[in-house]
Every structure is written in structure tokens, then in C-alpha cells.
Amino acid sequence: MKILATYNIKGGVGKTASAVNLAWMAARDGIPTLVWDLDPQAAATFYFRVKPKVKGGGKGLVRGKHDLDGLIKGTDFANLDLLPADFSYRHLDLLLDEKKKPTRQLRKLLKPLGAEYGCIILDCPPSISLVSEAVFQAADALLVPVIPTTLSLRTLQQLMTFRAEQGLDKLHILPFFSMVDRRKKLHQEIVADLPRQYPHMLMTEIPYASDVERMGVHRAPLGSYAAGSRAGQSYAALWLEVRARIEGRVAWE
């Protein structure tokens, strides 16, 4: 089982769209896949048409009152399940803080799912918090969507620094460009320049596209209704890069 997390300190960068679309592709390729929507905004849960409600809420989950497997919902797609978000996840930091070794709790909760799923994707809320630290402990790799803007680059640098300071040597960080608008000069410059600084970043760029925004209208992954669109093809290419790393054909970093 590989655990990936779509993560960025900054919000609105395409984390949920990436989580949902990559999960759909993993499932389509025959990998039993679970998306855990950790964001109380519940966007991934909305895309999969599932109620944003978890029995016992975040409290029941962290305190181990409910078996994680019993909270999972199948989606419209074979091989693809969802652990929905719950509004109480907004207090997840506090709930984790009640536990001993709080940053290890997510990993502990996910461990029993290893027999059932080949890939788990954690859709993370923005910010850097105790939840984020627990994600860093649980995940094999962070998939970091980066809008080619100055502020987005700054948050990527913050993440890299945090990893180094915390000694998270086993955690791989894979940035990729998201919401790229080639008409903007700044986007062009950053897309050309950043790979020199981060040679291991994924090569695929996800364009800024209305098809991605329309996921909210279709309430479905892009591949299920616009696989041939430019954005659909970009996610497919991104998935190929990720899959090669999951299968060990390419080094993570």
C-alpha cells in the first residue's frame, strides 16, 4: 500500500481536483484506491456525491471508537472508495493533541487498510498544523500542486524547510505545476525556472481549465466525463508519472 497526500500550505491550488482525478485513474488501472477527505470543506466528498458525515465525527475516529473500514463509502466507480469528510474535522488538531504521539495517529489508523487498498490518497486541508504533521508521518509522498506565482513558490520553500528541520527524511515531496495559465508571462517564467531548483518535480503541468472547474457541476472526476480534454489528458500524464514511482520504476526523488 502506498499513501500519497495532496498537500499545500496554501489553499485553492488544485489539491482536491488532483486527489480526485489521480484516485480515479489509479482505480481505473485496477489499483484498489481510497480517498480520505481530511478537509472539513468536504470538496472531495462533494465531488463523489457522498454526504459529508462520519459516524462519531473526528472524535470517534481519533479515539478509535469506530473501525475506519466501517466508515468508508464506495463511489460510483469500481475500485474507488471514499472516507468522507466531516465538519468536525475542523477540530482534528485538538483531537490529535489529546493523544500520545499525536503525529503518528493517522499512520496507525491507516495501517489496517493495507490489505484492502493498493493506494490511499489523503486530500489535506491547507495550512501547516498538527494534522499536516500527522499526514507527513503517514504518507510515502506529498503531491504538491504549485501555481506558478510568487506566493505559491514561497509556501513550497516553507514546506521544504519544514521537512529538513523536522528530519522527515523518508517523506518524498513531489511538486507539480497546477492551474498554469500560459498566457501569463510570470507563469511562463516560473514554469521554465523552478525545475532547475527542484529537479525531481513532476514534469506534467495541469492547465488552468474550465473543465476542472466543471467537476463541481458534474460531481465526478474529470476522466469520467472529459477524459479527452486538455486537463483530462494532463491528469492522465501526471498519473503515469506518479504510478511509475508507486511501482518503483522511477525513484521518488
**Residues forming the site for other proteins (CB under 8 A):** 28-32, 48-51, 71-76, 79, 81, 118, 219, 247-248
CB of 3 to other proteins, least distance (A): 15
Q: Which is nearer to other proteins, 7 or 239 (CB)?
A: 239
Q: Which is nearer to other proteins, 73 or 91 (CB)?
A: 73
Q: How many CB atoms lie within 10 A of CB 126?
A: 17
Q: Which is nearer to other proteins, 32 or 175 (CB)?
A: 32
| Cell 493495507 found at | 114
Q: How many CB atoms lie within 10 A of CB 78?
A: 10
Q: How many CB atoms lie within 10 A of CB 239?
A: 22
CB of 51 to other proteins, least distance (A): 8
CB of 248 to other proteins, least distance (A): 7
Strand duo 73-74 + 80-83: pairing: antiparallel
CB of 170 to other proteins, least distance (A): 21
Burial 199-221 (b: 16+ CB within 10 A, else e): eebbebbbbbbeebebbeeeebb
Q: Which is nearer to other proteins, 75 or 229 (CB)?
A: 75
